């Protein structure tokens, strides 16, 4: 074997070992990230309430309980549902992103919908109104769309300032059983 062949084989061997090492590091990193996300999510109503309390104080509507919560790297999400997990009342969700981050309301809505496991059509805005949330004027947008079973849904979204960053409220539920008073009372109670 000549000198150039030995050098080429040495380079190929080093590159192969480096790639294998990167693959192991990448795999372990992805595994650790997945474990961190799994350990930061909860379906325990008390833990969901604790996460939500870090976003804002509020009065939960009667019959509602925490359904899902997440807290990771300063990002928080808490979702609440009525006594029946299968529907009727709107699902209420709060999300918070830390200060200094770029906040795109449309991206936040998509992330919250994905967090809730919702598969639906694009929502089309049908109404906007101004409302005071935590002492500041916010725009509340109601949109209409359909879920994966073609059931018509309303979605209401509002951005608001939190102690630690930017908050997003979202309510979603069937048009036929939409309870605007529940949504409005919850929004008015945010403090």
Give domain limits for the chain: 1-39, 41-189
Q: Which CATH number applies to 41-189?
A: 3.40.1000.10
Whether 103 shows a pLDDT value over 70: the answer reads: no
Convert 117-136 to b/e letters by CB count within 10 Å (16 or more is b). ebebeebeeeeeeebebbee
Furthest-apart CA atoms within the chain: distance in Å:
84
Interval 126-152: pLDDT, tens: 999 999 999 999 999 999 999 999 999
pLDDT at 40: 86
Q: According to the model, what pLDDT value does residue 160 have?
A: 95
* Higher per-residue pLDDT: 55 or 4: 55
Q: Which residue has better confidence, 23 or 161?
A: 161
User: Mean pLDDT across the chain, nearest whole number?
Assistant: 80
């Amino acid at each position: 074997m000549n000198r150039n062949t030995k050098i080429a084989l040495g380079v190929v061997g080093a590159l192969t070992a480096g790639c294998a090492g990167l693959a192991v590091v990448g795999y372990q990193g992805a595994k650790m990230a997945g474990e961190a996300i799994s350990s930061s999510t909860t379906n325990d109503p008390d833990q969901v309430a604790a996460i939500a309390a870090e976003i804002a104080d509020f009065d939960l509507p009667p019959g509602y309980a925490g359904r899902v919560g997440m807290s990771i790297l300063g990002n928080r999400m808490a979702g609440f549902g009525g006594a029946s997990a299968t529907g009727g009342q709107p699902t209420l969700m709060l999300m918070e992103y830390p200060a200094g981050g770029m906040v795109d309301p449309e991206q936040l809505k998509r992330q919250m919908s994905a967090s809730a496991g919702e598969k639906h059509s694009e929502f089309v805005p049908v109404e906007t109104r101004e409302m005071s949330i935590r002492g500041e004027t916010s725009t509340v947008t109601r949109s209409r769309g359909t879920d994966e079973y073609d059931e018509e849904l309303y979605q209401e979204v509002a951005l608001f300032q939190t102690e630690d960053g930017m908050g997003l409220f979202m309510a979603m539920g069937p048009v036929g059983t939409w309870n605007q008073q529940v949504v409005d009372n919850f929004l008015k109670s945010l403090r």
